[in-house]
Amino acid sequence: MKFRLCIWLVLAVTNFGLYVMFASVPTVRFTENKGQWPAGILYRAQVDGGAVFIENNSWTYHFYDAKTYRQWHHAGITKRPKNISLQHYAYKTEFLNASSLNSWNTYLQSSDYVNYYLGNNPQQWVNNIHHYERIVNPNLYPGIAVELTGLTQGIKYTFTVNPGHSPSVIKMQYTGVDHIRIDKGRLIIQTNLGDIIEQKPYAYQLINGIVKTVTCNYTLKKHCLSFDFPNGYNPSCPLIIDPVLVFAAQSGSTADNFGMTATYDAAGNLYAGGTAYSVGYPTTLGAFQTAFNGPQNGTDVVITKYNANGNALLYSTYLGGSNYEVVSSMIVDNNNNLCLYGATGSSNFPVLANAFDNSFNGGPALSFVMNGTSYSSGTDIFVSKFNSTGSQLLGSTYIGGSQNDGVNHVNHLTFIANTYWEYYIDSLQYNYGDQYRGEIQVDRYNNIFVCSSTRSSDFPTLNAFDNTLGGKQDAIVFKFNPSLNQLLFSTFIGGSQNDCGNSILIKESDGSVYFTGGTCSSDFPVTSAAYSNQYLGGKSDAFLVHLNASGNQIIASTYFGTSDYDQSYFVQSDSKNRIYVFGQSMGSFPVLNTSTITPLHNPGRHQFIARFNAALSQLNKATVFGNYTTQVDIAPSAFAVDRCSNIYLSGWGGNIITNGPPLQNMPLMAATQSTTDGFDFYIMGMDSSWVLQYGTYFGGGLSQEHVDGGTSRFDARGKIYQSACAGCGGHDDFPVTPG
């Protein structure tokens, strides 16, 4: 078959612009409370760096220091104090003597909707909630209506005073505000996060079809705001008062969402998975702070589905408990259900009553400052499944032991009070985001397989090749039935040192699995006929294991790598049952059975692709690519081999990988983007002869694009579904298509 590399850039932009693909969607929208938030909240508007809660006769604002929070996430290789805290500010605007019973009308309903699975009480799970661009209370005061409209960087609120009624009854009391003043006609609210500005009010009347401007000023007495009309107005016609509230302290998008993983379905729809940080209803007004590793700063998993053309947001689903969650991998099964795997620190994560395990096991406290995540009670793995609309949780379970599960880490990355934390390059946690590796897959019967890592000696095992934790951290492989209420097999795989599982592949003909990762163990379980049954030395070796369908026997297992750092991140196969891996090496990784064709196949590069026979006894093809820097160039993000043995891969680069140089001098061919700012994605394709057919950078000219760990995917046509943390540093320069 003629090589036809058709890489479509279908990118899941899940940071600093969740709606960046859809210019018609306003930044601020109003979401109805149907039980997902505390009683008393009618609507919630997500704004940059905070939220506005619409209540019966008041509005409550809660902001946080988004700049600092994003610096936690994007600071790169920097030294930071471990006892950092996050600044907040909250205040309330109450309408004095307003009507006691209010009802709101909604307008301009969104086509997309949102589902909330927050906490472990199914009665509080709600779905199919739409957003609104405009909400109106027609009787805030008798004869006076108020309308709220979402804008790009704020909210416009409009009062309509009907004939026979007076605007003098409108009185807004500000609580929780220490410094408030009128300056050049504007209301300035001073906070510890910056100024919030209510623009000079504009008032007008429509008289005989002509707009007549009415002079209008603010009046402020003891934090109570009202309106003054020095020149009067026509009381026989409606009066419109139209201020605009601008959150000048912040800039950018509506929420902090960090891209982790992406996948697709049979129709080509894109599913983007990430972690979302947003504030809850404040229990304290005024300035306050929360500790980084406190549950107040927890993140939830957010899943967003786009249509195949990328021009319509279909839904978003929030999943999580009261602490931190991350999602590492997603896949759609044969019934169009979305399956996902990740790590949670919440004892009230949404699990079903019939789950395999509905109790949180936890572990020692653990923090990853650069990822903006912290687990005060340790972590468990979660595995969950949603229907195609995201509106029903079909299965959800914990799995784990008494130590940390689902994360790849070393002990000295935990918090120590009043000391400094510095990014540490470990043998297996080599790139930013390597904490959250692992993969989920499904077979033709919709059974669910996961490859991950654990430090728990009591991790649940069943029909296992190995029931015993070999070192401080082992790789694990386990299989669930489609309902996630029965464990079919579960096994440790590892030696006496640290090991991690990164990727898994199901062989449909017999149900066996291949999986790959990294090991520091010289006694990792390998087979005698393997390509290499001796540990090659250095910081770590890559491994590749073939496990039988029952999970209790290793069919084949091999080391591969060099005498330096080596790790394998993805495994794939072709129609001839040959096994491919994609990873990194700092040693002299072999170049085998490939012609020396610039810019590929030259020794000394630090990303490798290797092909083994099915028995893992022969390495029959291998190459390296990149440039001649002293560090790796990209962190692997996605990998595929199609039925014609064409190879596709992606990764991201920049100096937040192992403190190395910015991404540069990568092999280019028919490039969509031939230049880079040093912080971009790199996407590559080779034909079945391993000849470069496509190589391109992809990213903005200023932002530091990356992924926070996790898997993205190519489909069978070479279409990439790539999760991205884009717009980093507040830049809105990620390349997106119109519409």
Out of 165-169, 230-234, 653-657, least confident range: 653-657
Confidence of residue 22 (pLDDT cuts 50, 70, 90): very low
| Segments making up each domain of the chain, as ranges | 9-16+252-724, 30-102+134-246
pLDDT score, position 418: 40
Say whether pLDDT at 290 is over 50.
Answer: yes
> Span 701-716, mean pLDDT?
76
- CATH of region 9-16+252-724: 2.130.10.10
pLDDT score, position 655: 60
Confidence of residue 47 (pLDDT cuts 50, 70, 90): confident
- What pLDDT, in 10s, does the model give residues 587-604? 999 998 876 555 676 777
Contacts with 227 (C-beta within 8 Å, 6 or more apart), sequence order: 167, 168, 170, 201, 203, 216, 217, 218, 219, 241
Q: For all residues of the chain together, what is the average pLDDT?
A: 85
Interatomic CA distance for residues 225 and 418, integer angstroms: 44
Say whether pLDDT at 389 is over 90.
Answer: yes
Interatomic CA distance for residues 452 and 340, integer angstroms: 13
pLDDT score, position 78: 40
Confidence of residue 665 (pLDDT cuts 50, 70, 90): confident
Confidence of residue 25 (pLDDT cuts 50, 70, 90): very low
pLDDT score, position 376: 87
* Torsions phi, psi for 9 (to 5 deg): -90, 85
pLDDT score, position 411: 53
pLDDT score, position 412: 42
pLDDT score, position 9: 40
Give, in order, the Cα–Cα distances in Å from 605 to each of 602, 623, 670, 695. 7, 9, 21, 16
Beta 607-612 vs 579-585: how paired, if at all?
A: antiparallel
pLDDT score, position 194: 82
> Span 561-585, mean pLDDT?
97
Residue 662: burial class (beta carbons within 10 Å; 0-12, 13-18, 19+): middle
Q: C-alpha angle 506/509/515, rounded to 5°?
A: 20
> Span 113-125, mean pLDDT?
94
What's the length of the chain? 739
Structure tokens at 412: 């000295």
Pick left, alpha or beta for residue 529 (phi over 0 → left; psi -120 to 50 → alpha; otherwise beta). alpha
Residue 71: burial class (beta carbons within 10 Å; 0-12, 13-18, 19+): middle
Give, in order, the Cα–Cα distances in Å from 373 to each of 364, 555, 568, 637. 14, 38, 25, 20
Say whether pLDDT at 402 is over 60.
Answer: yes
Residue scoring higher pLDDT (705 or 270): 270
Say whether pLDDT at 700 is over 70.
Answer: no
pLDDT over 90 for what percent of the chain? 60
Nearest CA to 729 out of 689, 652, 677, 694 is that of 677
- What pLDDT, in 10s, does the model give residues 529-560? 999 999 998 999 999 999 999 999 999 999 99
Question: Alpha helix (H) ranges present in 382-425?
Answer: none
Confidence of residue 83 (pLDDT cuts 50, 70, 90): low
Give, in order, the Cα–Cα distances in Å from 587 to each of 121, 203, 255, 593. 51, 71, 41, 19
Structure tokens at 257: 């969402």
Say whether pLDDT at 12 is over 50.
Answer: no
Residue 308: burial class (beta carbons within 10 Å; 0-12, 13-18, 19+): middle
Interatomic CA distance for residues 471 and 497, integer angstroms: 5
pLDDT score, position 730: 52
Residue scoring higher pLDDT (194 or 290): 194
pLDDT score, position 726: 54
pLDDT score, position 255: 53
Q: Which residues pair with 88 in a beta bridge?
A: 64, 288
Out of 387-391, 421-425, 637-641, 646-650, least confident range: 421-425
> Span 654-676, mean pLDDT?
78
Say whether pLDDT at 662 is over 90.
Answer: no
pLDDT score, position 441: 99
Interatomic CA distance for residues 169 and 97, integer angstroms: 8
pTM of the model: 0.88
> Span 553-575, mean pLDDT?
97
pLDDT score, position 638: 94
Contacts with 598 (C-beta within 8 Å, 6 or more apart), sequence order: none
pLDDT score, position 436: 93
Question: Alpha helix (H) ranges present in 77-133?
Answer: none
- What pLDDT, in 10s, does the model give residues 316-362? 999 999 998 999 999 999 999 999 999 999 999 999 999 999 999 99
> Span 270-274, mean pLDDT?
91
pLDDT score, position 77: 39
> Span 484-488, mean pLDDT?
99
Confidence of residue 87 (pLDDT cuts 50, 70, 90): confident
pLDDT score, position 181: 94
Say whether pLDDT at 11 is over 50.
Answer: no
Nearest CA to 701 out of 734, 664, 736 is that of 734
Confidence of residue 368 (pLDDT cuts 50, 70, 90): confident
